[in-house]
Amino acid sequence: MDPINQQILLVSRPEGEPTVDNFQLVETPLPDLGEGQVLVRHHYLSLDPYMRGRMNEGRSYAQPQPLGEVMIGGTAGEVIASRHPDFAVGDAVVGMGGWQQYQRVDANQRGVLKKVDTTHIPLSAYLGAVGMPGVTAWYGLTQIIAPRAGETVVVSAASGAVGAVVGQLAKARGARAVGLAGGPEKCAYVSSELGFDACIDYRQHPDLKSLGAALKAACPNGIDGHFENVGGMILDAVMLRANAFSRVALCGMIAGYNGEPIPMHNPSLILVNRMMLQGFIVSEHMALWPQALQELGTEVASGRLKYRETVAQGLASAPEAFLGLLKGRNFGKQLVKLV
């Protein structure tokens, strides 16, 4: 075993768009294990849009990422040494190990490390469709949008790790699913492989009038539910087509992650249509995770729930891969493979 652990630290806060200079790759010695601890070798790192918000120092739903410390993030890997009776060498595990090759974990702390079964579900899927992104999709759809059969659900960032799951779960409940994605390749994937009823390439509609017309054509009976990952013009266009008593699950507002203003074009539509807009943070609903993961795991293991991954190779590639994620260069779930 390599006695050196490579880590990526956040060393400065971005001003506007983040750059690779905000990060630093360092090497540190691996510490000895204490009683009740396990050593995990990470196979995959999860890169997710929420990390951008935590790079800022301002007030948010979570504490900012501390400077000079390992970048926070989900991990999936293997126990390679253990001094805890519940974990054996070779166990597949997921946790929040951050951007590093190894992590020493106090396994006595409840919930910091979870064993997973890779017999029918690939290890990487526990960071995507059967992990936090999948549960995010499940919660927003089932607990906020709660679509009825025949209703229309619109999903922004529909080819991404969260959006792809939202649309498929909506279809399984008898709803009509319409996605928005960037580029013809992503839209073809959303429609043909994921089974959405339609997909709009937002890059072909650079203004509100054009995007609104595209949504009108794709949603002839209006919009009953919307899963929002982006904000800005996409949300404005959806609101123009929203039906009375429509529901919006606000998951992300990536249009403003670099400090850009994201004013709402016509907020009076919320009142006119008696709309419900609800923001949510999936980690605040842990009691529902087992129910969500049961459905997601069953669907992935059976092959009914489809997903795609973009995989960068090696820890050093993480900053560039993360910056690409924020610009939509990834296709599906963005991972970094370490082993």
Residue-range domains of the chain with CATH? 4-128+307-337 (3.90.180.10), 132-283 (3.40.50.720)
What order do you get walking across the sheet with 223-228 strand by strand? 198-201, 176-181, 152-155, 223-228, 242-250, 276-279
Give the tokens for residue 32: 């000895």
CB 95, CB 40: distance < 8 Å: yes
Residue ranges, the chain, pLDDT below 50: none
Amino acid 159: pLDDT: 95
Amino acid 206: pLDDT: 93
Amino acid 2: pLDDT: 55
Q: Where are the alpha helices (DSSP H) in the chain?
A: 50-54, 132-139, 163-172, 184-188, 208-218, 233-241, 268-272, 289-302, 318-326
Amino acid 180: pLDDT: 97
Give the tokens for residue 89: 């060498």
Task: Please name the amino acid found at residue 333.
Answer: K
Amino acid 172: pLDDT: 97
CB 112, CB 87: distance < 8 Å: no
Dihedral of CA 276/281/285/289: which sign?
A: positive
- Candidates 86, 10, 87; CA nearest to 41 is 87
pLDDT, one tens digit per residue, over 207-265 is 999 999 999 999 999 999 999 988 899 999 999 999 999 999 999 887 676 777 788 88
pLDDT, one tens digit per residue, over 171-188 is 999 999 999 999 999 999
Give the tokens for residue 311: 């995989």
Rounded-to-integer distance, Cα 320 and Cα 251, Å: 24
Q: CA 241, 245, 246: angle at the middle one, nearest 5?
A: 50
Rounded-to-integer distance, Cα 256 and Cα 232, Å: 8
- Candidates 136, 172, 151, 131; CA nearest to 250 is 136
Phi, psi of 287 (to 5 degrees): -65, -25
CB 310, CB 330: distance < 8 Å: yes
pTM, two decimals, is: 0.93
Give the tokens for residue 329: 């260069």
